[in-house]
């Protein structure tokens, strides 16, 4: 329940935050049977569920979402059972890693019961995602619920309708049961706000879950969800996917519905945010994309492009093998990735080279530092005025990474219209130059790091280059878990950093600090070749048996 | 040859204009056999060619471009013969209606000879447009030629490479032989500059040829070209197509290559300019679209969408007939069209209703006045500063319609970044509202006016609403010639204008002033449904025998 505006104006940001946490806790308390409080929070949270949940709950929540869909649509599992298992595990995840803004047990279980009854009555599922519980990042509007983009001053904003994407997923049979944390301003590659504090990495609580869709990342990393919705304007789907050993896709812009978000800069066109899936399987990513695009969202939302989701192979077959030319970029020339990332990519490249039909070539970066200077200025073409006003309005403190991206970032400038057009022209020239560079390389897809290391320690995610690069170019980019930090990924003590960012990153790392962190790769394709990126990784997974390990 | 900068800075705008005209005249004088000067310029220029050109030249230049292509690719006609016929007729068109900035007889005839030799040597055409002469608007870059966007101060700008579209069309076999006039600023629906003065309408020299691709319009109207390239950000392909009895398509944005234009506001994304064809036949429009899209221009130009040009029918067939639901909008509720437009649309609607499988329904306009206020502000988000500076730099006078659109237009305001984002949000809300309105109507395509009358008298094209509407929505829009102004299209003397714009338009008209002017319709489709729009008109033409009359 919301206070009236007059009473609200007297409230401190602390009071608002407290009330928001109390609301969250009340929604957790309504989950049955209750999850006990934990006496102590371990470094690695991932073994905890098996000490608390039932074998059936463990089995359900650790299933591939596509296997769940098969059991749900045939009636072998009820949506009520599946939904309650995820509600229970999400409650536990919140207690361990602080990733939930609210659960919706009552509405979710009512919806699940409706779907179970539907299946019984009609003898067929309501749609391709019949009965599947999904989680969503808080900024994606849910009718009659608050949407605050991580700003305390926006605490009284109530969505008057569902986001378009949510309408389609519900029509396809999903059950919405959890909303997840996000950072102040939404412009961090971590998740830290004055509403809820910090979201932690399930594998190592000293590390970040990533961001800005870091509540999704941590929840899925804990297997408190198997399919969630994030958004990405600089890495916000991919950083949480990578940090938590998940699959995640930043699709090309204007393929998935964007109507109904709560955020700053919503009408800025110079750099487009995208929405996309995080999942515990690649099949989960695929079914998400196909279901949404098959619904022809461009009819309601005319900014979208009516490109069907292609199901035919995007690669020629020769001698029974798909032929793929894969580029490998290990280092963007600005900040060198940590040893585990270099080792994982190098090892992957050598394995790939042994797959029949696959050709592996090195790929040279092209001015990735220029790309960052363009995109980080275009993000905040108003000089960050909208974010600064939204923070100032409540008197809440600046979180460290808000400060980093808005105040310490030398590219944040208040532009004139002419200045913005100039910068847009630079962006387009760079895009055309990169298109020519890609064409000359002849590659189909590119394998590269997701960041300059595995999940960094809290408040240290200060280099966006490996993800923001593909936002500037608007290339689709898929995250795949391939390894973890190993004890023998030792520090390169002789390394001489190239610049201040490189030095900062180099000094962050030791295998001890990063222990247990997942290591992922990013698979990038040309603009609108989302299907090609997914298919390439699917083929690689089939041939090499990735990811590195099963979750359990 | 260009003067050195030091000498140029001493030149008056009149001197620059004079030299530009002398260059143009020299290129005309190189065409053989020469076209005589005309003692007198008649009101209707269209009968003049048959008094000057040979029967073969008349036959070639009055052919459907697709018939020409068939003869060119089989060797029944040589490209040299065809090119020279168009060079001769273009020379005559220039003398009659003032539509040419330069001809390229030597380069064109050398290219034609090369193509003729290629066909002889290889026994097959070089590409799908083998040997076909095409004309282009001046702003589309031609390597080593000047490109001035209608500003005297830009007279020394030389393109360092061809526009992307030109490269593709040349690779497909085209011959470039003519460049055509455009207005100062490019932001008129007429064609008037201080380089060349006014371009006239071939059917009635007191009327405008339209603009800003009005040189193309007049040249094709005179049959001095059969296929030309224009651009459109508010009606600049469609107004010249309609005013000159031609076919023209404003495609959805990002389907055809845009690299290599000379204009102001090139990086503005809020309203995207598009490039597209004007032709003497609908088949010419189709072959242009298909050739360009089949070349996969998105590889070089990553802002383009990789949507193939669909050749399969976009309409279901029932009982041997295509089923189409056609909306008809006769009046946008802001400015009522003149009697010939209302009569032509009403008559067309009643004929359409008799075609089996076609359902005709009225379509209600939705806030078209709001649309104009949004788009005309977004055009000039910098308050028109770039245009004003480009005019001021040479001291050239403001042409009347530059004054109208930039100085008299109350929506021209210098916006802040936040102001621009606000207006972009209004644009998007309007687009979504219109998408819902269209969906509710259930129509496939919409037939509506191209403007509030046929081609208006010179300097009187002051209402953009009927074309700019579809730029704001980014809907594809095809122009089809359907009638002409008739003596019994009398003034509605009892009409009470709704507003000042409506009064101005109402008072412009009399059947005497507009005598002989073509009357056209606009066929509009949903975003990216370019193929549907073309196919709908093709079907209507097949069933109703449009256009109203053959040119000769």
User: Is A126 labeled as ligand-binding?
Assistant: no
Contacts of A308 (CB under 8 A, 6+ apart): A293, A294
Residue range B58-76: mean pLDDT, rounded: 98
Chain centroid offset of residue A135 CA: 12
Q: In angstroms, rounded to a whole number, what is the distance separating the alpha carbons of residues A104 and A261?
A: 19
Q: How far is A305 from chain B (nearest CA, A)?
A: 8
Whether B307 sits inside 8 A of A302 (CB atoms) is no
A296 neighbourhood in chain B, CB within 8 Å: none
Closest CA to B194 of B25, B1, B15: B15
Does residue A109 sit at the B interface (CB-CB below 8 Å)? no
Cα gap A142→A2, rounded to integer Å: 16
Is A235 marked as a binding-site residue? yes
pLDDT of B201 strictly over 70: yes
Position A548 scores a pLDDT of 58
- Helix H segments across A185-313? 214-221, 238-243, 282-294
Partner residue opposite B420 with nearest CB, options A298, A417, A473: A417
CA distance A196 to A167: 27
- Give me the residue label for tokens 């389609």: A168
CB contacts of B259 in chain A (<8 Å) are 432
Judged by a CB distance cut-off of 8 A, whether residue A424 touches chain B is yes
Average pLDDT over residues A388-399: 97
Look-up: residue for tokens 């055509």? B180
Residue with tokens 């001769």: B88
Which of B309, B387, B418 should be substituted to probe chain A, the one whose Cβ sees the most A Cβ atoms within 10 Å?
A: B418
A272: closest chain B residue by CA: B269
Instruction: Give the E-state strand segments of A337-496 in sequence order.
Output: 358-362, 445-449, 477-484
Whether the CB of B439 is below 8 Å from some CB of chain A: the reply is yes
Q: Does A415 touch chain B (CB under 8 A)?
A: yes
Enter the CATH code of domain A26-39+57-294. Answer: 3.90.1300.10
Asked if A473 lies within 8 A of B302 by C-beta distance, the reply is yes
> Mean of the pLDDT values across residues A380-409?
97
| Terminal Cα distance for chain A, rounded | 40
Nearest CA in chain A to B268: A421
pLDDT at position B546? 73
Q: Which of A475, A490, A467, A479 is closest to A546 using CA atoms? A: A479
Of the pLDDT bands very low, low, confident and very high (cuts 50, 70, 90), residue B8 is low
Chain segment B448-504, per-residue pLDDT in tens: 999 999 999 999 999 999 999 999 999 999 999 999 999 999 999 999 999 999 999
Query: What pLDDT is recorded for position A209?
Result: 98
- Give B326-348 pLDDT, tens digit per residue: 999 999 999 999 999 999 999 99
For B519-528, the pLDDT digits (tens) are 999 999 999 9
Strand partners, A360: A326
Q: How confident is the model at residue B548 (pLDDT cuts 50, 70, 90)?
A: low
**Burial class, B1, CB count within 10 angstroms (exposed 0-12 / middle 13-18 / buried 19+):** exposed
Q: What is the Cα–Cα distance from B362 to A481, expressed in whole angstroms?
A: 56
Given a cut of 80, whether residue A279 has pLDDT beyond it is yes
A305 to chain B: which residues are within 8 Å by CB?
305, 307, 528
Task: Compare all CA atoms of chain A with the CA of B259 and give the residue at the minimum distance.
Answer: A432
* Tens-digit pLDDT profile for residues B151-194: 999 999 999 999 999 999 999 999 999 999 999 999 999 999 99
Which of chain A's residues have a Cβ under 8 Å away from the Cβ of B296?
none
pLDDT bracket for residue A312 (50, 70, 90): very high
A111 touches A178 (CB < 8 A): no
SS3 string, A411-440, reads CCCECCHHHHHHHHHHHHHHHHHHHHHHHH
Q: Which residue has the tokens 């020519």?
A: A436
Q: Do B432 and A302 touch (CB under 8 A)?
A: yes
Quote the CA–CA distance of A78 and A74 in Å, as a whole number.
9
Tell me which residue in A299, A428, A436 faces B267 most closely, judged by beta carbons: A428
**Chain B: nearest CA to A546, how far in angstroms?**
31
Q: Does B422 touch chain A (CB under 8 A)?
A: yes
In tens, the pLDDT along A57-106 reads 999 999 999 999 999 999 999 999 999 999 999 999 999 999 999 999 99
* B415 vs A: CB within 8 A: yes
Instruction: Tell me the angle at which helices B417-441 and B465-473 cross, rounded to the nearest 10 degrees.
Output: 100
- Is-same-fold flag (A26-39+57-294; A318-544)? yes
User: Which chain A residue has its CA at the smallest distance from B418's CA?
Assistant: A382
Q: Which two tokens stand for residue B488?
A: 């019994």
Chain B hits for A472, Cβ within 8 Å? none
What's the length of chain A? 552
Tell which residue, A222, A196, A200, has the closest CA to residue A211. A200
A318-544 CATH fold: Amidase signature (AS) enzymes (3.90.1300)
A388 touches chain B (CB under 8 A): no
User: What CATH code would you report for B317-544?
Assistant: 3.90.1300.10
Contact in structure between A235 and A464 (CB atoms under 8 Å): yes
Shortest distance between the Cα of A436 and any Cα of chain B, in A, equals 7
Cβ distance A548 to A476 under 8 Å? no
Each residue's pLDDT tens digit, A338-369: 999 999 999 999 999 999 999 999 999 999 99
Rounded Cα distance, A460 and A542, in Å: 35
Give the pLDDT mean for A434-442: 98
- The alpha carbons of chain A give a radius of gyration, in whole angstroms, of 22
Question: What value does the mean pLDDT of chain A take?
Answer: 96
CA distance A408 to chain B (A): 21
Residue B469 touches chain A, beta carbons under 8 Å: no
Contact A300 B435 (CB under 8 A): yes
Q: Distance (Å, rounded) from C-alpha A287 to C-alpha A292?
A: 8
Report how far residue A67's alpha carbon sits from residue A65's, in angstroms, rounded to the nearest whole number: 5
Cβ within 8 Å of residue A193, ≥6 positions away:
A150, A181, A182, A183, A184, A399
Percent of chain A with pLDDT over 70: 97
Measure A241 CA to nearest chain B CA, in Å.
Answer: 27
Say how far apart CA B33 and CA B56 lie, in whole Å.
14
Q: What is the pLDDT of residue A206?
A: 98
Strands A321-322 vs A317-318: parallel, antiparallel or unpaired: antiparallel
Query: Which residue among B209, B212, B402, B520 is the active-site one?
Result: B212
Collect all residues of chain B within an 8 Å Cβ-Cβ radius of residue A416.
382, 417
CB contact under 8 A, A300 and B436: yes
Nearest-5° angle of CA A87, CA A88, CA A90? Answer: 65
Residue of A nearest to B265 (CA): A421
Backbone dihedral angles phi then psi of residue B289, each to the nearest 5 degrees: -65, -50
Domain residue spans of chain A: 26-39+57-294, 318-544
Distances (CA, A) of B123 to B20, B299, B394: 42, 30, 53
Mean pLDDT of chain B: 96
- Which residue in A421, A425, A440 has the most chain B C-beta atoms within 10 A of its own C-beta, making it the best mutation to test that interface? A421
User: Domain B5-36+56-294, what fold?
Assistant: Amidase signature (AS) enzymes (3.90.1300)
Quick one: average pLDDT of B231-255?
98
Closest residue to B432, CB basis, from A301, A436, A526: A301
According to the model, what pLDDT value does residue B254 have?
98
Q: If contacts are CB pairs under 8 Å, which of residues 220-279 in chain B contact chain A?
A: 259, 265-270
Q: Are strands A133-137 and A445-449 parallel, antiparallel or unpaired?
A: unpaired
Tell me how far apart the terminal alpha carbons of chain B are, to the nearest angstrom. Answer: 40
A327 is in an annotated binding site: no
Per the annotation, the verdict on B212 as an active-site residue is yes
The three state secondary structure string of B482-524 is EEECCCCCCCCCCCCCCCHHHHHHHHHCCCCCCCCCEEEEEEE
What number is the average pLDDT over the span A287-301?
98
> Of A269, A306, A420, which has the smallest distance from its Cβ to B528's Cβ?
A306
**Which one, of A213, A122, A228, lies nearest residue A176 by Cα?**
A228
Name the residue among A266, A305, A432 with its Cβ closest to that of B305: A305
Q: Does A528 touch chain B (CB under 8 A)?
A: yes
Note the pTM of the prediction, 2 decimals: 0.96
Model confidence at B10, pLDDT cuts 50, 70, 90, reads: confident
| Band of residue B61 on the pLDDT scale cut at 50, 70, 90 | very high
């Amino acid at each position: 329940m919301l206070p009236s505006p007059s009473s609200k104006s007297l409230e401190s940001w602390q009071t608002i935050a407290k009330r928001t946490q109390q609301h969250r806790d009340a929604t957790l308390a309504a989950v049955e049977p209750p999850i006990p409080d934990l006496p102590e929070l371990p470094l690695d949270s991932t073994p905890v569920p098996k000490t608390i949940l039932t074998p059936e709950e463990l089995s359900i929540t650790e299933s591939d979402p596509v296997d769940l869909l098969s059991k749900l649509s045939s009636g072998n599992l009820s949506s009520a059972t599946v939904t309650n298992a995820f509600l229970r595990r999400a409650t536990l995840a919140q207690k361990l890693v602080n990733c939930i803004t609210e659960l919706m047990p009552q509405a979710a279980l009512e919806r699940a019961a409706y779907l179970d009854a539907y299946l019984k009555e009609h003898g067929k599922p309501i749609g391709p995602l019949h009965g599947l519980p999904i989680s969503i990042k808080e900024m994606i509007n849910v009718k009659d619920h608050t949407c605050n983009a991580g700003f305390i001053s926006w605490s009284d904003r109530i969505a008057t309708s569902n986001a378009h994407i949510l309408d389609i997923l519900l029509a396809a049979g999903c059950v919405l049961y959890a909303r997840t944390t996000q950072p102040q301003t939404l412009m961090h590659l971590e998740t830290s706000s004055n509403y809820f504090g910090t979201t932690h990495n399930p594998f190592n609580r000293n590390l970040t879950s990533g961001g800005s869709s870091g509540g999704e990342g941590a929840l899925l990393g804990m297997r408190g969800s198997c399919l969630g919705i994030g958004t990405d304007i600089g890495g916000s789907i991919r950083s949480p996917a990578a940090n938590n050993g998940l699959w995640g896709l930043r699709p090309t812009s204007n393929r998935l519905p964007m109507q109904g978000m709560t955020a700053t800069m919503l009408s800025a066109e110079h750099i487009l945010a995208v929405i996309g899936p995080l999942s515990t399987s690649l099949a989960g990513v695929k079914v998400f994309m196909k279901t949404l695009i098959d619904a022809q969202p461009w009819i309601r939302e005319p900014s979208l492009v009516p490109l069907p989701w292609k199901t035919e192979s995007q690669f020629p077959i020769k001698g029974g093998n798909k032929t793929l030319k894969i580029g490998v970029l290990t280092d963007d020339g600005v900040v060198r990735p940590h040893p585990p990332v270099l080792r994982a990519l190098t090892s992957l490249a050598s394995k790939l080279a042994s797959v029949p039909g696959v050709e592996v070539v090195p790929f040279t970066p092209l001015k990735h530092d220029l790309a960052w200077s363009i995109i980080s200025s275009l993000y905040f073409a108003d000089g960050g005025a909208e974010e600064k006003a939204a923070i100032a309005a409540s008197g809440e403190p600046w979180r460290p990474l808000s400060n980093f991206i808005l105040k310490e970032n030398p590219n944040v400038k208040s532009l004139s219209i002419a200045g913005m057009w100039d910068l847009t022209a630079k962006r387009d020239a760079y895009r055309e130059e990169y298109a020519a560079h890609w064409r000359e390389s002849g590659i189909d897809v590119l394998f590269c790091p997701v960041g300059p290391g595995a999940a960094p320690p809290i408040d240290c995610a200060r280099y966006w280059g490996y993800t923001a690069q593909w936002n500037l170019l608007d290339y689709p980019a898929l995250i795949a878990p391939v390894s973890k930090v190993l004890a023998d990924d030792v520090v390169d003590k002789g390394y001489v950093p190239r610049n201040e960012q490189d030095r900062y990153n180099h000094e962050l790392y030791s295998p001890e600090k990063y222990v247990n962190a997942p290591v992922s790769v990013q698979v990038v394709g040309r603009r609108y070749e989302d299907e090609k990126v997914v298919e390439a990784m699917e083929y690689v997974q089939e041939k090499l048996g990735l990811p590195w390990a099963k979750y359990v």
